[in-house]
Amino acid sequence: MEKKSDDPQPVSADRPVLGLPRRVWYLLAGCLGLMVVSRLIFPSSSSSAGHYSTSRGLLTAVDYLNASASEPAPFTFCPDFGPNDLIAQKRGQSPLLKSRMHTGTGARVQRLIHKAMTGQPITISVLGGSITACHGAGDDPVSPKCWPSLFFEWWNSVFPHPYNQLYNGAARLTDSSYFAYCSKHHMPDNADLVILEFDASDPNDPLWINHFELLVRSILTRKEQPAVILLGHFAPQVLVQNGYTGPEMLHDIVAQYYDVPHISMKGALYSEYMADPEGTRKSYYSDMVLASPAGHDLLSDLLISYFQSQICSGWATTMGHAFDTPYMGAGPASSVSPLLNIDADDLEAQGGGLAAKTRAMKVPAARLSNRPSDMLTFREVEPYCVIANEIINPIPPSHFFGSGWTSHTGTGVEGKSYWSSEVGGSRMRVNIKTAAGDVAIYYLQHPDGTPSGRIECWVDDDTAHRVVLNGMNKNIAQETATLTTINEGVAPGDHYVECLMLGKEGAQMPKFKLMGVFAT
Say if residue 343's pLDDT is above 70.
no
Region of poorest pLDDT, from 6-15, 86-95, 199-208, 434-443:
6-15
Say if residue 442's pLDDT is above 70.
yes
Q: Which pLDDT tens digit goes with each residue over 246-300?
A: 999 999 999 999 999 999 999 999 999 999 999 999 999 999 999 999 999 999 9
Say if residue 360's pLDDT is above 60.
yes
Say if residue 60's pLDDT is above 60.
no
Q: Give the CATH number of domain 384-519.
A: 2.60.120.260
Q: pLDDT-based confidence at 328, cuts 50/70/90? A: confident
Peptide bond into 247 cis (omega under 30): no
Dmax over CA atoms of the chain, in Å, equals 166
SS3 411: coil
- Give me the percent of the chain exceeding a pLDDT of 70: 81
Q: What is the SS3 assignment for 124-154?
A: EEEEECCCCCCCCCCCCCCCCCCHHHHHHHH
Q: Which pLDDT tens digit goes with each residue over 9-37?
A: 555 555 666 666 777 777 777 777 777 66
Q: State residue 16's pLDDT score.
A: 65
- Answer yes or no: are the C-beta atoms of 442 and 417 closer than 8 Å: no
Q: State residue 345's pLDDT score.
A: 55
Q: State residue 15's pLDDT score.
A: 64
Q: Which pLDDT tens digit goes with each residue over 147-198?
A: 999 999 999 999 999 999 999 999 999 999 999 999 999 999 999 999 999 9
Q: pLDDT-based confidence at 330, cuts 50/70/90? A: low
- Answer yes or no: are the C-beta atoms of 363 and 217 closer than 8 Å: yes
Distance (Å, rounded) from C-alpha 45 to C-alpha 47? Answer: 6
Say if residue 393's pLDDT is above 70.
no
Count the Cβ atoms, other than its own, within 10 Å of residue 471: 22
- Average pLDDT (406-423) is 85
Q: State residue 333's pLDDT score.
A: 35
Domains 86-332+343-360 and 384-519 share a fold: no
- Average pLDDT (338-358) is 52
- Average pLDDT (214-231) is 98
Name the strands in the sheet holding 427-434, side by side, starting at the edge strand that comes first in the sequence.
427-434, 493-501, 454-459, 467-470
Q: State residue 354's pLDDT score.
A: 61
Say if residue 105's pLDDT is above 90.
yes
DSSP state of 519: E
- Average pLDDT (409-433) is 88
Can you give the pTM of this predicted structure? Answer: 0.81
Region of poorest pLDDT, from 67-76, 139-148, 208-217:
67-76
Q: Where are the domains of the chain?
A: 86-332+343-360, 384-519
Q: pLDDT-based confidence at 383, cuts 50/70/90? A: very high
- Average pLDDT (221-234) is 97
- Average pLDDT (89-114) is 96
Q: pLDDT-based confidence at 339, cuts 50/70/90? A: very low
Q: Which pLDDT tens digit goes with each residue over 496-515?
A: 999 999 999 999 999 999 99
Q: State residue 414's pLDDT score.
A: 67
Q: State residue 64's pLDDT score.
A: 32
Assigned superfamily of 86-332+343-360: SGNH hydrolase (3.40.50.1110)
The residues facing 129 across adjacent strands are none
Mean pLDDT score of the chain:
85
Q: pLDDT-based confidence at 489, cuts 50/70/90? A: very high
The residue with greater pLDDT, 407 or 90, is 90
Q: State residue 338's pLDDT score.
A: 36
Per-state percent for the chain, helix, strand, coil, to nearest 5: 35, 20, 45
Distance (Å, rounded) from C-alpha 177 to C-alpha 5? Answer: 123
Say if residue 212's pLDDT is above 80.
yes
Bridging pattern class, strands 193-197 and 227-232? parallel
Region of poorest pLDDT, from 88-92, 114-118, 245-249:
114-118
- Give me the percent of the chain exceeding a pLDDT of 90: 67
- Average pLDDT (54-70) is 41
Bridging pattern class, strands 165-168 and 123-128? parallel
Q: State residue 342's pLDDT score.
A: 44
Distance (Å, rounded) from C-alpha 458 to C-alpha 439? Answer: 9
13-27, 50-64, 443-457 — most confident range: 443-457
Q: State residue 9's pLDDT score.
A: 52
